[in-house]
Structure 1
Amino acid sequence: MVFLVEVTGICSICGRAGKMYTCSLCGAIVCGNCYDIENGICKPCKGRGKSIHKDTTNL
Structure 2
Amino acid sequence: MQGICDICNRVGFLHVCQLCGRRVCDRCFLADRGVCILCFRGRFLRKNEDMSLP
Task: Provide TM-score, normalisation by structure 2.
Answer: 0.78
Task: Give the structure 2 partner of residue 17 of structure 1.
Answer: 11
Establish whether residue 26 from structure 1 lines up as the match of residue 24 from structure 2.
Answer: no
Rg larger in 1 or in 2? Answer: 1
Establish whether residue 46 from structure 1 lines up as the match of residue 40 from structure 2.
Answer: yes
Identity value in percent:
39
Unaligned runs of 5+ in 2: 45-54
After the TM superposition, which segments of 4 or more aligned residues of structure 1 sit over 3 Å from their partners? none
1:8 Cα shift?
A: 0.4
Structure richer in helix, relative to its length: 2
Q: How many residue pairs end up in the alignment?
A: 44
Supply the AA of the counterpart residue of 1:36.
Answer: L
Unaligned runs of 5+ in 1: 1-6, 51-59
1:33 Cα shift?
A: 0.3
Supply the AA of the counterpart residue of 2:30.
Answer: D
Task: Give the structure 1 partner of residue 47 of structure 2.
Answer: none
